[in-house]
């Protein structure tokens, strides 16, 4: 029997469903990993061993024909996801102790397939950030180099997978919050087309941008998890009826790969450009055709993103005022005073900054200048992609302009932090599907740090994106690399 | 001006100041919120009912739990559209929901889902009996907030049962001139919404709320500052508040004071309006399109479907009852006050072709039965009577099979038991006796010792026979057919 | 270019932060305001590029999923109990949420 962490989720589920291992053993292995690594890497905000063990027992007793495709697979969930029995505090003081009175649809579908949630992972507070340094509970550490960030905002979930604690984990991607951590930790991350997966139960940050997005060490895992979560939900009016995804490894011959010149500009650091170009060369070798394209409005994407996302965030976070849930601070004793004191004490500085920004761009007299304008530029950004996809089948480039940066290196410069999203936010603005797959390493001060390749597809072309990702994975061996802080197992 | 002083009657020609003789013209607009009569809330499946125990009809969505999302109720859209069609509004093919932000303890999400710059309909209005047409500016859909209770203890208590209930907010142009017009507008609006099945419009249960916007100016001059009045819980209060406020504003202007743009509350105990808060620091609601809801597209098929469901409206029915059925305006008004009654009446007329009789029986008998504690029916539709039942009774009485008084008894028994006329006539022995032999015997019995009365009848005294008639009816236990009795008596008396 | 855009805010970030904080119910301390102001200003500077674009005839992108009028049937779904909903409430009196006394009316 293989070591627990040597298997991907599909493999683990197959072995468990066939009885070669038990769900209970999987849970014990996962918690051994938690014990071994969590205190150093700061992955989980809370775990629920009893609940996981109980669910494992039920699964182990289940008759063979009822065993689902994720039978007995432990999964880590980002702390902005609502699950009964777990504390979903979004890494914020204002939600400390919040136990959601309902379970998200996307979680329920995975549990129905046999997955076992083991805990809530660390993140930037309310998903606002790219390094986890905005968590109220300290950042997660990158298993490739603990002095560096694992990216953000879905940091803990990325580390859970990259460190071998769980084979799969869920994050949320609003501006790159799953793709960028996947790139920085050397794993696969996939953001579906906006609307593929119901957002009911995902604590909202940017409503028109958020998507639940899986992490895994293999593309087939990410495909399976996405497929299981997909489909209409009567609880979400923005959820589309997207069909099952059957992502065969595609034949790359003749595949037209668009390479936007704007994504290969001067901002790329170290050898990120080299790794991306090597990947493109490999695609060519396999028969693909490289097509230069242009996304002319790319330079405005960050501005549009920060206007739209902060506006929506300022609105979505208005409900945190101490009346119905969360921590309350009395303030001057008046109702409005209580609101202000509760929010002042409960929100961290980055969240406050974004709420202020979002409130500003929506305020009377400024709507047309900022928000109204940004929505129109958003249309232009989407049109850029539509035009580009007329001459190519997928668009490829680096996921992040740089590998994992040192913790603390961007603390005092929010703008510098925002710029690390420049390659990922346009995808959320246009609502397109995109994956990040490992494409090699760069050497930084003697340490090997992972680099990710982003594959973007047209609207609803999720299957195509994952097929291309599979083909790349198949032709390379980067997915097999293991971080220095990877849990190989106390027992298998 | 004290509240005991009689408020001068407001005629359409405005309010003439006693002090200066200046004619002041009131300018009044109404904002009316109506709860739509759906089973569930606007954006979630909670089944709302008035008076439920606190926080027992809520869910993650209507309490604004993080991660919860709204999904629109189809029936709410249908009723809103039906209302718009009934009021002659132009329904927008495309509209959207917007978030309206403010912080208050009864607003769970910190914003209300409402409609800002693309309401689902505009235009339309209501014709008043004076001929005045009160125009509507717009109607939009929005969700209701919960309830904050300030008068229990030293904290404010919050009940979110009502949060998320569907509302339509209708705003009129400032076309109204008097309190009477305002009340007539509201009465008509209520009738129309009830007829469409869109809303109960019960102010006591909060399903209809009205705010008044009012200013005054000397005749011929431009409009002045308007004041908003809230907390009007009945049509009577709307009327009183308007009349009071007109005088208050006129007095203030005539004393050289300014009228401040503000919101005032109606104080029903002291019959005055008083300051609530100043509207000078206007709210910045930071409206933007609700990203969790797709735009609302109302197809022409949807519109046509709702148009077909529109009932004939009260004003049109009244006109028809008066002209085609020959009813008096008063009768027409009484029969159309509620749609269930009007529908009942019309069905009865179709079955019997006797509009006046149906009208009389409904008003005189059926209305009495509603609210009768013995029957336990509080509303017309709770009576266990169908139009066919009423018509059966009318036919029986007209044919002479039962007496008129028996008809009343029969109707009541049918309402109480739900049994048919035929069954009850037999059970209660109400059949009127037509047996001439039997009647002749009763007549002869009643005539015994009544020589004086007989003499009066022979002498031609017109009503003398009634006493004899009464006697025979009594002997028969109310069962004798009065007409036959009269004829029999006359025949017997005329015999030598 | 919209006439509503006013370049003043970038220079007067301080007063702006205070008034926005009030709108957003964030009791920002004077010290926090001092550190936020320059950050605010530098962020807004990034947005200046948006002003220069010609947006004539461009529609705003409002509905991402392209879904059209999603409606649900008017059928009841079970409500949560008061206890369930009040379980996370910071303060509770019987079956009510409770908050500091207010005279009534929003804001």
What residue has token string 């017997």? Answer: B492
Percentage, residues of chain B above pLDDT 70: 96
Task: Quickly count: other Cβ atoms within 10 Å of residue B274's Cβ.
Answer: 10
pLDDT computed for residue B10 by the predictor: 43
Please check whether residue C103 touches A, CB under 8 A.
no
- As a dihedral over the C-alpha atoms of residue A295, residue A422, residue A359, residue A334, rounded to 10 degrees, the angle is 160
Identify each DSSP E strand in B14-143 by its residue range: 15-16, 23-35, 72-73, 90-91, 94-95, 98-101, 111-114, 121-122, 125-127, 133-143
Q: Which of A153, A154, A230, A298 is catalytic?
A: A153
Per-residue model confidence (pLDDT) at position A2:
65
Q: CA-CA distance, A58 to A210, in Å (whole number)?
A: 33
Residue A389 to chain B, least CA–CA distance (Å): 26
Residue A409: strand, helix, or coil: coil
Q: What are the pLDDT digits (tens) for B133-175? A: 999 999 999 999 999 999 888 999 999 999 999 999 999 999 9
Among the residues of C1-107, which ranges form H helices?
Answer: 8-11, 13-23, 30-46, 48-51, 82-86
- Inter-residue contact B284 to C107 (CB < 8 Å): no
Q: Tell me how far apart the alpha carbons of residues A13 and A224 are, in angstroms, rounded to a whole number.
A: 11
**What is the distance, to the nearest Å, from the Cα of residue A51 to the centroid of all Cα atoms in its chain?**
24
- What's the pLDDT tens digit per position in B463-482? 888 888 888 888 887 777 78
Is the distance from CB of A436 to CB of A179 less than 8 angstroms? yes
Mean pLDDT estimate for chain B: 90
Q: Do residues B88 and B133 make contact, with C-beta atoms less than 8 angstroms apart?
A: no
* Contact residues on chain B for A310, CB-CB shorter than 8 A: none
Read off the pLDDT of each residue in B318-347 and give the average, rounded to a whole number: 94
Q: Would you call B286 and A359 a contact, using CB atoms and an 8 Å cutoff? A: yes
Cβ contact C46–A336 (<8 Å): no
Burial class (CB in 10 A: 0-12, 13-18, 19+), B418: exposed
- pLDDT at residue B463 in the model: 83
User: Is the pLDDT reported for residue B376 higher than 90?
Assistant: no
Contact B139, B170 (CB under 8 A): yes
B21: left (phi over 0), alpha (psi -120 to 50) or beta: left
Tell me, yes or no, if A99 comes closer than 8 A to chain C by beta carbon.
yes
In the predicted model, what is the mean pLDDT of residues A317-336? 94
> What are the chain A neighbours of C42 within 8 Å (beta carbons)?
415
Cβ of C106 and B103 within 8 Å? yes
Residue of C64, C87, C91, C103 to mutate for A, most A C-beta atoms under 10 A = C64
pLDDT of residue A1: 56
Confirm if B279 and B307 have CB atoms less than 8 A apart: no
Residue A308 contacts C, CB cutoff 8 Å: no
Give the whole-angstrom CA distance, residue A53 versus residue A34: 14
HSE-CB of A178 using CA atoms within 13 angstroms: 33
Q: What DSSP character marks residue A324? A: S
Q: What is the mean pLDDT of residues A140-164?
A: 98
Using a 10 angstrom Cβ sphere, with 0-12 exposed, 13-18 middle and 19 or more buried, the burial of residue A42 is buried
pLDDT tens-place string over residues A156-171: 999 999 999 999 999 9
Q: Which of residues 29-68 of C touch A (CB under 8 A)?
A: 29, 32, 36, 39-40, 42-43, 46-47, 49-51, 53, 55, 58-67
Chain B residues with CB under 8 Å of C69 CB are 72, 294-298
C71 by Cβ neighbours in 10 Å (0-12 / 13-18 / 19+) ranks as middle
| Alpha carbon of A318: minimum distance to chain B alpha carbons (Å) | 5
Taking the CA atoms of A138, A144, A145 and A149 in sequence, report the sign of the dihedral they define: negative
pLDDT at A146: 97
Catalytic residue among A131, A140, A155, A177: A177
* pLDDT at residue number C1: 36
Are the beta carbons of B293 and A208 separated by less than 8 Å? no
Quick check: C95 contacting A, CB < 8 Å?
A: no
pLDDT at residue number B480:
79
Token digits for A16?
A: 């468990």
pLDDT higher than 50, residue B204: yes
Tell me if A375 and C60 make a contact (CB, 8 A cut-off). Answer: yes
Note the residue count of chain B. Answer: 496
**Lowest mean pLDDT: which of B354-363, C8-17, C37-46, C74-83?**
C8-17
Chain centre to alpha carbon of residue A246 = 22
Q: How many CB pairs under 8 A join A and B?
A: 106
C28 in a domain, yes or no?
A: yes
The whole-chain average pLDDT of chain A stands at 94
Distance from CA of A155 to the nearest CA of B (A): 20
CB B53 within 8 A of CB B90: no
Angle at B92 between CA B86 and CA B93, to 5 degrees: 120
Residue A153 a catalytic site member: yes
Q: Which of A78, A141, A191, A410 is catalytic?
A: A78
Among C5, C58, C60, beta carbon nearest to A369: C5
DSSP codes, B155-169: EEEEE-TTTT-EEEE
CA distances from C103 to A146, A440, B150, B151 (A): 54, 64, 7, 10
Q: What is the mean pLDDT of residues A8-31?
A: 96
Lowest mean pLDDT among A345-359, A454-468, B281-295, C2-16: C2-16
pLDDT average, residue stretch A437-462: 96
Contact C98 B155 (CB under 8 A): yes
Interface touch C64/A344, C-beta < 8 Å: no
**Cβ of residue A244 closer than 8 Å to a chain B Cβ:** no
State how far the Cα of B333 lies from the Cα of A490, in Å rounded to an integer. 87
Residues B401 and B484: beta-carbon distance below 8 Å: no
Say if residue A62's pLDDT is above 90.
yes
For residues B472-492, one letter each, b for 16 or more C-beta atoms within 10 angstroms of the residue's C-beta and e for the rest, the string is: bbebbebbbbbebbbebbeee
Residue of A nearest to B113 (CA): A315
Pinpoint the alpha helices (H) of B402-463.
404-417, 421-428, 436-447, 451-458
Q: Calculate the alpha carbon distances from B330 to B165, B191, B319, B367, B390 in Å.
A: 37, 16, 12, 15, 21
Sheet with B147-149, strands from edge to edge, namely B147-149, B155-159, C96-100, C92-93
What pLDDT sits at residue C4? 41
Write down the pLDDT at residue C39. 81
What is the model's pLDDT at position A283? 97
Tell me the pTM. Answer: 0.90
Q: Kindly list the partner chains of chain C, i.e. chains with 3 or more CB atom pairs below 8 Å.
A: A, B
The upper half-sphere exposure of residue B287, i.e. CA atoms within 13 Å in the direction of its Cβ, equals 12
* Domain spanning B436-494, CATH architecture: Orthogonal Bundle (1.10)
- Tell if the CB–CB gap between C99 and A363 is shorter than 8 Å: no
Q: Which two tokens stand for residue B426?
A: 């037999």
Confidence of residue C104 (pLDDT cuts 50, 70, 90): low
- Whether C64 and A194 lie within 8 Å, measured CB to CB: yes
Tell me what pLDDT residue B474 has: 85
Mean pLDDT across the stretch A267-274? 89
Return the ∠ at Cα A41 (arms to A36 and A46), rounded to 5°: 80
- CB proximity list for B386: less than 8 A, separation 6 or greater: none
Q: What is the pLDDT of residue A489?
A: 78
A172 is catalytic: no
* B302 sits in which H/E element: helix B300-308
**Sorting pLDDT into bands at 50, 70 and 90, what band is C103?**
low
Pairing of strands B155-159, C96-100: antiparallel
Q: Among partner residues B40, B55, B103, which is closest to C96 by beta-carbon distance?
A: B55
Nearest to B55 among C68, C82, C106 (CB): C82
- The reported pLDDT for the residue numbered B12 is 53
- Beta bridge partners, A190, equal A435
B60: nearest CB among A102, A238, A339: A102
Is there a contact between B55 and C97 if contact means CB atoms under 8 Å apart? yes
Summarised one tens digit per residue, pLDDT across range B12-55 is 578 888 888 899 999 999 999 999 999 999 999 999 999 999 99
Per-residue confidence (pLDDT) for residue A246, from 0 to 100: 67
In the predicted structure, residue A492 carries a pLDDT above the cut 50: no
Least confident span in A273-287, A363-377, B166-180, B447-461:
B447-461
Instruction: Report yes or no: B157 at the C interface, CB cutoff 8 Å.
Output: yes
What is the percent of chain A where pLDDT is above 90?
A: 90
Which one is predicted more confidently, B430 or B294? B294
Chains in contact with B, where contact requires at least 3 CB pairs less than 8 Å apart:
A, C
Judged by CB atoms closer than 8 Å, whether chains meet at B71 and A339 is answered as no
Tens of pLDDT along A340-369? 999 999 999 999 999 999 999 999 888 888
- Does the distance separating the beta carbons of A101 and C88 come in below 8 Å? yes
Is C104's CB within 8 Å of B148's CB?
yes
**Residue A293 touches partner C, C-beta closer than 8 Å:** no
Which CATH number fits the domain that encloses residue A260?
3.90.1300.10
Cross-chain residue pair A324–C89, CB shorter than 8 Å: yes
Mean pLDDT of B66-91: 97
Domain that holds residue C16: 3-52
pLDDT, tens digit (0-9, with 9 covering 90-100), for C24-51: 999 888 888 888 888 888 888 878 888 8
Instruction: Return residues 50-89 of B near C (CB < 8 Å).
Output: 53-60, 63, 71-77
Residue of B158, B286, B292 lying closest to A363 (CB–CB): B286
Q: C94 to chain A, minimum CA–CA distance in Å?
A: 14
**Chain B residues closer than 8 Å to C71 by CB:** 71-74, 77
- Nearest chain A Cα to C33, which residue? A353
Residues of chain B found within 8 Å of residue A203, distances taken between Cβ atoms: 66-67
User: How confident is the model over A163-215, as pLDDT tens digits?
Assistant: 999 999 999 999 999 999 999 999 999 999 999 999 999 999 999 999 999 99
What is the distance in angstroms between the Cα of C56 and the nearest Cα belonging to chain B? 20
Task: Specify the pLDDT at position B278.
Answer: 53
Domain limits at A249? 1-492
Whether omega for the bond prior to residue A153 falls within 30 degrees of 0, making it cis, is: yes
Whether residue B198 contacts residue B141, with contact meaning beta carbons closer than 8 Å, is answered with: no
Q: At A7, give phi and psi (nearest 5°).
A: -95, 145
Q: How many residues does chain C have?
A: 107
Q: Are A399 and A179 in contact (CB under 8 A)?
A: yes
Q: Is the pLDDT of residue A394 over 90?
A: yes
Long-range contact set of residues B5-8: C-beta below 8 Å, sequence gap at least 24 = B7/B243, B7/B244, B7/B247
User: What pLDDT is stored for residue C36 in this prediction?
Assistant: 82
On the question of pLDDT at B7 being above 50, the answer is no
Contact B283, B102 (CB under 8 A): yes
Q: Is the pLDDT of residue B496 over 70?
A: no
Q: For chain C, what is the domain count?
A: 1
Chain C residues within 8 A of B72 when measuring between CB atoms: 69-72
Q: Report the domain count for chain A.
A: 1
Quote the strand ranges of A163-288, DSSP E. 168-173, 188-191, 211-216, 256-260
Picking from B288, B287, B292, B290, the residue whose alpha carbon sits closest to that of residue B68 is B292
Q: How confident is the model at residue A281 (pLDDT cuts 50, 70, 90)?
A: very high
What does each C-alpha distance from A319 to A141, A186, B107, B143, B311 come to in angstroms? Answer: 31, 36, 9, 16, 42
Active site residue A2: no
Residue B377 has what pLDDT? 83
In this prediction, residues A264-283 reach a mean pLDDT of 92
Look at B105 and A335 and tell me if their CB atoms are within 8 Å.
Answer: yes
Q: How far apart are the first and last CA of chain A?
A: 7
């Amino acid at each position: 029997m293989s070591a627990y962490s040597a298997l991907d989720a599909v493999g683990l589920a197959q072995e468990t469903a066939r009885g070669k291992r038990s769900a209970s053993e999987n849970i014990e292995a996962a918690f051994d990993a938690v014990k071994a690594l969590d205190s150093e890497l700061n992955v989980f905000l809370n775990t629920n061993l009893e609940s996981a063990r109980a669910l494992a027992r039920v699964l182990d007793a289940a008759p063979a024909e009822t065993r689902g495709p994720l039978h007995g697979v432990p999964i880590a969930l980002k702390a902005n996801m609502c699950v009964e029995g777990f504390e979903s505090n979004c890494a914020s003081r204002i939600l400390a102790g919040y136990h959601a009175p309902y379970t998200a649809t996307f979680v329920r579908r995975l549990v129905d397939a046999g997955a076992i949630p083991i805990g809530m992972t660390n993140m930037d507070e309310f998903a606002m950030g790219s390094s986890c340094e905005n968590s109220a509970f300290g950042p997660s550490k990158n298993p490739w180099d603990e002095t560096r960030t694992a990216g953000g905002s879905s940091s803990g979930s990325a580390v859970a997978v990259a460190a071998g604690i769980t084979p799969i984990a869920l994050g949320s991607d609003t501006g790159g919050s799953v793709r960028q951590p996947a790139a920085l930790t050397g794993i696969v991350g996939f953001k579906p087309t906006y609307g593929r997966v119901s957002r009911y139960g995902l604590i909202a940050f940017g409503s028109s941008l958020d998507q639940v997005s899986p992490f895994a060490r293999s593309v087939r895992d990410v495909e399976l998890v996405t497929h299981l979560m997909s489909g209409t939900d009567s609880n979400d009016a923005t959820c589309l009826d997207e069909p099952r995804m059957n992502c065969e490894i595609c034949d790359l011959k003749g595949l037209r790969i668009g390479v936007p010149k704007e994504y290969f500009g001067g901002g790329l650091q170290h050898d990120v450009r080299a790794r991306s170009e090597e990947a493109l060369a490999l695609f060519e070798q396999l028969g693909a055709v490289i097509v230069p394209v242009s996304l002319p409005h790319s330079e405005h994407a960050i501005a549009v993103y920060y206007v739209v996302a902060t506006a929506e965030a300022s609105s979505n976070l208005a409900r945190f005022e101490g009346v119905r849930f969360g921590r309350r601070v009395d303030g001057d004793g008046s109702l409005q005073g209580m609101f202000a004191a509760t929010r002042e004490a409960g929100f961290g500085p980055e969240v406050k900054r974004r709420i202020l920004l979002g409130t500003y761009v929506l305020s009377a007299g400024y709507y047309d200048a900022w928000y109204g304008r940004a929505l129109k530029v958003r249309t232009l950004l989407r049109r850029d992609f539509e035009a580009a996809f007329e001459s190519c089948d997928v668009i490829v480039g680096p996921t992040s302009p740089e590998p994992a940066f040192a913790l603390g290196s961007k603390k005092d410069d929010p703008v510098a932090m925002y710029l690390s999203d420049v390659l990922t936010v346009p995808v959320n603005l246009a609502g397109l599907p995109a994956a990040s797959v490992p494409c090699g390493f760069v050497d930084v001060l003697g340490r090997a740090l992972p680099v990710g390749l982003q594959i973007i597809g047209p609207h609803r072309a999720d299957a195509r994106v994952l097929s291309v990702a599979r083909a790349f994975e198949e032709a390379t061996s980067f997915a097999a690399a293991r971080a220095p802080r990877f849990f190989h197992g106390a027992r298998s | 001006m004290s509240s005991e002083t009689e408020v001068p009657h407001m005629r359409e020609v405005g309010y003439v100041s006693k002090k200066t003789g200046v004619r002041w013209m009131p300018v009044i607009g109404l904002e009316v919120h109506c709860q739509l009569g759906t089973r569930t809330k606007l954006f979630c499946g909670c089944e709302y009912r008035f008076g439920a125990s606190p926080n027992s009809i809520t869910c993650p969505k209507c309490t604004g739990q993080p991660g919860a999302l709204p999904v629109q109720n189809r029936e709410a859209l249908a009723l809103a559209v039906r209302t718009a069609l009934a009021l002659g509004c132009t329904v927008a093919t495309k509209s959207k929901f917007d978030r309206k932000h403010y912080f208050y303890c009864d607003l769970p999400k910190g914003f209300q889902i409402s409609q800002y710059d693309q309401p689902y309909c505009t235009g339309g209005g209501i014709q008043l009996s004076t001929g005045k047409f009160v125009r509507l500016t717009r109607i939009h859909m929005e969700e209701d907030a919960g309830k904050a209770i300030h008068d229990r203890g030293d904290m404010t208590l919050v009940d979110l049962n009502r949060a998320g209930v569907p509302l339509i907010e209708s705003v009129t142009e400032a076309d109204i001139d008097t309190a009477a017009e305002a009340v007539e507008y509201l009465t008509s609006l209520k009738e129309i919404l009830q007829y469409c099945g869109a809303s109960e419009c019960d102010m006591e249960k909060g399903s209809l709320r009205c705010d008044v916007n009012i200013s005054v100016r000397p005749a011929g001059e431009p409009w002045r500052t308007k004041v908003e009045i809230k907390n009007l819980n009945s049509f009577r209060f709307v009327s009183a508040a308007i009349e009071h406020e007109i005088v208050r504003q006129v007095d203030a202007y005539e004393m050289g004071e300014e009228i401040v743009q503000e919101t005032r509350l109606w104080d029903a105990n002291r019959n005055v309006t008083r300051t609530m808060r100043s509207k000078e620091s206007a709210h910045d609601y930071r409206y933007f399109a609700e990203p969790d809801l797709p735009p609302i597209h109302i197809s022409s098929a949807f519109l046509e479907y709702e148009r077909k469901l529109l009932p004939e409206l009260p004003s049109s029915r009244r006109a028809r009852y008066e002209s085609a059925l020959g009813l008096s305006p008063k009768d027409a008004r009484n029969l159309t006050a509620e749609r269930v009654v009007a529908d009942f009446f019309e069905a009865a007329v179709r079955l019997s072709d006797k509009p006046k009789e149906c009208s009389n029986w409904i008003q005189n008998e059926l209305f009495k039965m509603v609210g009768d504690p013995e029957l336990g029916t509080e509303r017309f539709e709770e009576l266990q009577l169908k139009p066919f039942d009423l018509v059966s009774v009318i036919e029986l009485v007209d044919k002479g099979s039962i007496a008129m008084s028996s008809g009343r008894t029969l109707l009541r028994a049918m309402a109480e038991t739900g049994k048919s006329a035929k069954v009850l006539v037999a059970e209660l022995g109400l059949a009127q006796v037509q047996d001439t032999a039997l009647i002749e015997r009763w007549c002869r019995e009643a005539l015994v010792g009544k020589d004086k009365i007989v003499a009066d009848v022979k002498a031609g005294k017109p009503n003398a026979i009634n006493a004899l008639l009464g006697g025979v009816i009594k002997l028969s236990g109310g069962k004798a057919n009065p007409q036959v009795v009269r004829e029999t008596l006359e025949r017997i008396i005329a015999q030598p | 270019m919209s006439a509503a855009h006013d370049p003043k805010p970038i220079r007067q970030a301080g007063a702006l932060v205070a008034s926005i904080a009030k709108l957003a119910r964030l009791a920002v301390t004077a010290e926090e305001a001092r550190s936020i102001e320059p950050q605010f200003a530098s962020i807004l500077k990034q947005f200046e590029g948006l002003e220069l674009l010609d947006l004539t005839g461009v529609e705003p992108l409002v509905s991402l999923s392209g879904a059209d009028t999603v409606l649900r049937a008017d059928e009841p779904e079970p409500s949560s109990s008061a206890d369930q909903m009040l379980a996370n409430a910071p303060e509770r009196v019987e079956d009510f949420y409770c908050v500091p006394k207010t005279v009534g009316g929003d804001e």
